[in-house]
Amino acid sequence: MPPQPAPTPTRRAVTQLDHRLEAVTGHDIDTLWTYRDRGALDEPHTQLVDRHRTLANAQIGVTFYLKLLNRLTSGEFPVDGALFARIDRTVDQLEEAANARDAAAQEALAALEPIEAAAAASTPDEGRLSTDDRAALLAIAGGAKLHEHLLTGRLSVTASSGTRIPYPQMQQLERAGLTVRDTSHPVHAGQPVSLTDAGRAALLDARRTPATHAPTSPARPGAPPSTPAKRR
């Protein structure tokens, strides 16, 4: 039986909290990690990204031992006492890795939840819709659904036209009261997303192009109408 290879991760592991970090920050995980390395984050977000990295590393261990267990039970090796002993050892290692992953997830949640609460309590800036928000509302107006990937837990919004809307952007529109989800449907089956009355009104306002007129200075009361000066 060949020796057990050491885990050599080449890609960042996907965790169950990725979509929540992306939703509350408006950035994908790779961008957040880059900002952390550059020292561009404040203290709460720095702590959050550090704990998320610990969680991602712990997830790598779970994935490694899970794949090893699948290999040991695939029929590739002779079924004997040595195989049973190795399976038992791998199960114990998988359990330890899962416990470490769960503990890291709790630490990450402790840093994430205050940031989510602060974002939910903040009032969205009032103003005209951006071009991206207008395009997203137009796509949602034709029908859209929010889906959750069963394996990764990632959330994505797809319009009936095929347009994909970033989930953080959809969260911002929802917090602003412009969109609403039908939560009676499970996310993994697709939650319909539609415009609220405020969303439709905002979209109509954005589609209006008010005409501009040259300002005219009002005449003084009692003053005669102005006449063009005669040329000499």
Q: What is the pLDDT of residues 136-195, one digit of tens each?
A: 888 888 889 998 876 667 788 888 888 888 888 888 898 888 899 888 888 878 889 998
Percent of the residues in the chain that have a pLDDT greater than 70, as a whole number: 78
Give all domains of the chain, ordered by start, each with its CATH number.
Answer: 18-121 (1.10.287), 131-207 (1.10.10)
Q: Which residue has the higher pLDDT, 50 or 9?
A: 50
Q: How many helices (H) and strands (E) does the chain have?
A: 7, 5
The whole-model pTM stands at 0.51
Contact 163, 139 (CB under 8 A): yes
pLDDT band at 216 (very low <50, low <70, confident <90, very high): very low
What's the CA gap between 73 and 2, in Å, rounded?
A: 15
Contact 104, 125 (CB under 8 A): no
